[in-house]
Structure 1
Amino acid sequence: MIGKLLKLSLGRRQLHTIISQEIIKPSSPTPSHLYTYNLSSVDQLAAKAYMPIVLFYRKNDNCTLTSQDKARVLKESLSQTLTRYYPAAGRMSSPITPYVDCNDEGVVFIEARINSNLENYLHLSQVDRNFDLLFANDLVNYKSPCNTSLVGVQFNHFACGGLVLAVSMSHIIGDATSLSLFIGHWASVARYGSTDHQEVFPYIPHIIQFPRTDSIQQEFRACEVDHTNVVSKNFVFPNSKLSDLKKLVDIDINPSRVVVLTSLLYKTAAKAATKRSGFFKTSYIFMMVNMRNKFVKKLPQSTFGNIAPSILVPTDRHTSETSLSKVVEDIKKTMSRELEGIHSVHQIGEYLKVSRSNRHNHDNLENVVNGSYWCSSLCRFPFKKMDFGWGKPVDTKYLLRSSHKNGFMMVDTKNGDGIEASVVLEKENMEIFENEEEMLSFCQK
């Protein structure tokens, strides 16, 4: 009942108010030899979309800073952070420009007041939370693919003293690891007061300088996807259950808990789709793979940019009816076959060009799109540790945005003892999926 009242009050009484907007520029100008940041071919092939993350902070009685003081700390530390992550403060002339003008135009920083209690907001369902309130301005809105700004921030003050920091970064300049590096550096500068403090990590991000290339024209047009009948639900899988799940897989394969859970979710979702339609169609797993550790000469973990190509794993009728081990094996074999010979970011780009061409020239592109299940993982990412000086977030949310209508996003549970999976499916398929006994046997009761 509280949730419904809060939703109505926010909508009708307009209790959400923008109280300030300014541009935060780097504390030191970008050196002239870094004025132009050339995008790699991987960057240019990245989705023209934003990666939105939301960090929720309860009022910390041990912190003596006022809300205004906290906003000041955030702005000052962001300014210092932008001297190191200088592409984030730049602009693109157009969404297809193959470089960023590192012109120090800065990052939009919005402050907003929400006249309700954070606890009430946290208890709302993900649908009723209305995340648009937390990204209220077009300059920071994660739904603005034509925006030439690359990072936007909104700092939301709740009436109870709770705070919500909403950050969106363009996928053109980085992947989820890059977003994590940027916010982590910002948080540590805020906490310790200087980019030169020995505890600030990464001290200097590894930003690769690429040669200028022509703009890569993405000639392939994705099929229109109707999201009106799509629902999202969360399922929690404790580590003890994930250990039991791994025991079902051949010991020689030895998958990570993310790969084995991805296989279970995919297998269950494909089964639900088959039950609903009454017949099986070839389906596909669409996965992102972080390559920083996979090159012969490993890239530093502080490497900023897009270093995570996608692979597409097809599943035929025979495979869908076999064991979990077979699905896991297909994923690992595809990773090995597709990515083993890649030793540089340039080679990732060449691989993506070919694989995208093959996908979009498929005999039945619509079936590929409708039968694909995208999956991504933020497990082991330190978003839940982002302490700006007033404690770690009580909750974090990465907002799901995809051109596909089926998929899974995995994050660590709040207590770190498992994985919480956000599953996105068509409503009719979800009704079957959420009642599948095999999947439920590994869920938290």
Structure 2
Amino acid sequence: MKMEVHIVSREVIKPSSPEVQHKKPYKLSRLDQLTPTTYSTVIFFYRMHDVNSDDTTRTKLDRCKKSLTETLNIFYPLSGRVRGNRFIDSFNEGVPFIEAQVNCRLSDFLKHNEIESLNRFLPCQPFTKEPMDAPPILLQLTVFACGGMALAGAASHKIVDGVTSKALFSTWAAITRGDFNDIKQPDFEQASLFFPPRDSTPQSHLSLMETLWFTEGNYITRRFVFNAKAIATFKAMAIAGKPGVKTSRIQALTCFIWKSFIAASRAASDSPKPSILVEAVDLRSRTKPRMSYDSTGNAYWWATAFVNPMGAKTELPELVETLNAATALYETDYTQTLQGEDGFETMSEYCNQLEELFSLEKPDLFAFTCWSYLGFTETNFGWGEPFWVALMGKAGPAFRNLTVLIETRDGRGIEAWITLDEKRMAILERDPEFLAFASPNPRNLWDFNLCFINWSCMFTALKKRKRKRKLQTVCMLLPLYKAPHCCGNFRKQVRSQS
């Protein structure tokens, strides 16, 4: 059966407090001003968590919407609109919210294993150029036939980085489940104090950022999973024969992927181009004095590593050494040179260097960002934690080479969501060295979840039947009940239901 997603309703959710309308405008920071308006997306997949709960799907949806109005009282800038690349006002504009239904069970969707279809659960096309005054947040909640849910958020990178996005969803989830002790107040002022906005940002800088974010081409997104053993291998390879050299799991994995990209570029072109890796570095813990982790907006800048495959080694240890040097810069006084009014000169110098490099060399650019420390997999609305956090199926027609790293559900492995131009992706997907460690969109991570999802769906059906029908159905399910991968908790629930 073909999966079909039906839009049930579209509405705009606004803050419940009238006081929000009288808040002073939210100042953009200089980092916000340099960032294009485009939507970064995340999708939380929830199974039916508590089969004994009296909560209907309608009740959950209504509770979600009500708690969102309360959440927007706290995160009121995300309910407004950007004006002139300088500030946000009109906080009563609200957040577009889509409610949808899909004609299949969650387990059926996962069995098909199609990354491209993830966009059906999104409220917009991800990573596409958007107008400056586009809503900062878009939301869609899709209900599966079994009661499972996909909650998707699209956040404008103009004012929302990964930390801000996680703070929003954590607060919304805490309010929904009634855990008001788990709510932290966001800081809306620090970013613009540490990185003061400009009355006028040079057009050359804005054009450069547009170029870095958007390049015409056919971009493909794929999901590759690296288990803990593979990542440990990369780390060991990276420091082999280099006493005193240290690296993290993420840096080692990042450089392994970068090495594979360089190989794909070499295979795609007779004359390999210089290769640039830019990695997003969170500045909150690196400023002096230290910014609050609850600071909102964009509080990151790019660590930039450069290699020329024609004249430099591109083996893993050398790439790790190059990236470590780039990120280590942010552990020095360099971060302070980005701060304050004078920080504009440092950022301008960075932009000018990139402009010059792109005008002469036309290098390959690969962007990386790590979400593994954010804790998206812990976002609990009262239905349990998501069993899977996904990103997107396909970016817009003009985007860039981007890799997002996010932890697997068990916290030991890493999912790499890689967006590459079509030619390089085709080469990467056939690279034996890459595939020796990377599992392309594996289903095995979902096997346990599929089992639980199916049991949850069956329990829901049991609750709607008469007692004798319950007993009859349970008897029919005995082969599944005895399966070795079914844990004791499932069996206890079966006994309680019968």
Same fold (TM over 0.5): yes
Using the TM superposition, name which of 403-412 and 105-114 deviates more.
403-412
Q: Deviation at 1:321?
A: 2.6
1:401 CA displacement: 4.3
Residue in structure 1 matching 2:6, options 10, 17, 30? 17
* Cα offset, 1:113, TM superposition: 1.9
Contact 1:30–1:104 (8 Å) recurs in 2: no
The answer for the alignment partner of 2:495 in structure 1 is: none
Q: How many residues align?
A: 421
Question: Is 1:145 equivalent to 2:126 in the alignment?
Answer: no
Residue range with higher mean Cα deviation, 402-411 or 40-49: 402-411
CA distance in 1, matches of 2:257, 2:343: 27
Aligned to 1:184: 170
Counterpart residue number, 1:303: 295
SS at match of 2:437: coil
- The yes-or-no answer on 1:432 pairing with 2:432 is no
Corresponding position: 1:375 with 2:363:
no
Match status 1:79 vs 2:60: no
CA distance in 1, matches of 2:177, 2:343: 36
Partners of 2:104 and 2:166 in 1: CA distance? 29
CA distance in 2 between counterparts of 1:326 and 1:160 reads: 50
Q: 1:129 aligns with which of 91, 95, 117?
A: 117
Distance in 1 (CA, whole Å) between partners of 2:2 and 2:100 is: 17
Give the one of 89, 105, 110 matched to 2:98: 110
How far has the Cα of 1:142 moved from its partner?
Answer: 6.2
Please state how far the C-alpha of 1:272 moved relative to its aligned partner. 2.2
**Map of 1:384 onto structure 2:** 377
2:231–2:253 CA contact under 8 A, matched in 1:
yes
Deviation at 1:239, TM superposition (A): 1.4
Alpha-carbon spacing, 1:133–1:397, altered in 2? closer, same or farther (3 Å)? closer
Contact 2:30 2:197 in 1 (8 A): no
Residue 463 of structure 2 is matched in structure 1 by none
Offset of 1:41 from its aligned partner? 0.6
Q: State whether residues 309 and 352 of structure 1, in contact with CA within 8 Å, keep that contact through their aligned partners in structure 2.
A: no
Cα pair distance change 1:159/1:40, threshold 3 Å: same
Aligned twin of 1:13? none
Q: C-alpha deviations, 1:67-89, integer Å up to 9, x for none?
A: 11111111121111112112111
- 1:259 is displaced (CA, Å) by 1.0
Query: Contact 1:42 / 1:345 at 8 angstroms: preserved in 2?
Result: no
Report the CA distance shift for 1:81/1:358 in structure 2 as closer, same or farther (over 3 A).
same
User: Map of 1:29-428 to 2, 5 A cutoff?
Assistant: 29-30=18-19, 34-60=23-49, 61-93=51-83, 96-135=84-123, 143=128, 145-146=130-131, 147-192=133-178, 197-198=180-181, 200-202=182-184, 204-208=185-189, 210=192, 213-219=198-204, 220=207, 222=210, 225-228=215-218, 230-248=219-237, 249=239, 250-317=242-309, 320-337=312-329, 340=332, 341-343=334-336, 345-346=339-340, 350-362=345-357, 364=359, 367-368=362-363, 371-399=364-392, 401=395, 404-428=399-423
SS where residue 335 of structure 2 aligns? coil
CA distance in 1, matches of 2:266, 2:115: 27
8 Å contact 2:391–2:417 — kept in the other structure? no
Q: Which amino acid aligns with 1:396?
A: V
Shift of 1:66: 1.1
Shift, 1:284, TM fit: 0.8
Secondary structure in 1 aligned to 2:183? coil
Q: After superposition, give the CA deviation of every residue in 1:14-37 in whole Å (9 maximum; x if it has no partner).
A: xx3322222222222346774211
**Unaligned stretches of 5+ in structure 2?**
443-498
Structure 1 contact 142–168 (Cα < 8 Å) conserved: no
Unmatched 5+ residue regions in structure 1? Answer: 11-15
Residue 351 to residue 67, structure 1, CA distance change in 2 (3 Å)? farther
Asked whether the 8 Å contact 1:205–1:304 carries over to 2, the reply is yes
SS in 2 for 1:129: helix
| Per-residue deviation, 1:365 | 6.3
Gap change, CA 1:292 and 1:6, over 3 Å in 2: same
Comparing 174-183 with 426-435, greater Cα deviation is found at 426-435
Identity in percent? 26
Answer whether contact 2:121 2:150 (CA < 8 A) is retained. no
Instruction: Please tell me the residue identity of whatever aligns with 1:181.
Output: A
User: Per-residue deviation at 1:126?
Assistant: 4.0
Structure 1 residues 250-271: Cα deviation after superposition (integer angstroms, max 9, x where no partner):
3523111111111111112102
1:216, CA displacement in angstroms? 1.9
Label 1:383 to 1:322 Cα distance change in 2 as closer, same or farther (>3 A).
closer
Q: How far did 1:63 drift? A: 3.2
Q: Which moved more, 1:386-395 or 1:243-252?
A: 243-252
Q: Secondary structure of the residue that 1:279 maps to in structure 2?
A: coil
CA contact (8 A) 1:108 1:153 kept: yes
Spell out, residue by residue over 1:107-159, the C-alpha distance to the aligned partner (whole angstroms, 9 max, x if none).
122212222222222233444415145316x9xx7646115311111111222
* Cα pair distance change 1:212/1:422, threshold 3 Å: closer
Q: TM-score, normalised by structure 1?
A: 0.85
Alpha-carbon distance change, 396 to 62 in structure 1, aligned in 2, over 3 angstroms: farther
Structure 2 CA distance for aligned equivalents of residues 387 and 435 of structure 1: 38
- 8 Å CA contact 2:303–2:326 kept in 1: the answer is yes
Larger Rg: 2
The whole-number CA distance in structure 1 between the counterparts of 2:162 and 2:231 is 24
CA separation in 2, counterparts of 1:133 and 1:443? 26
Letter matched to residue 27 of structure 2: N
- 1:395 is displaced (CA, Å) by 1.4
As a proportion of its length, which structure holds more helix? Answer: 2
Q: What is the alpha-carbon distance in structure 1 between the residues aligned to residue 63 and residue 226 of structure 2?
A: 37
* Structure 1 position 290, deviation (Å): 0.9
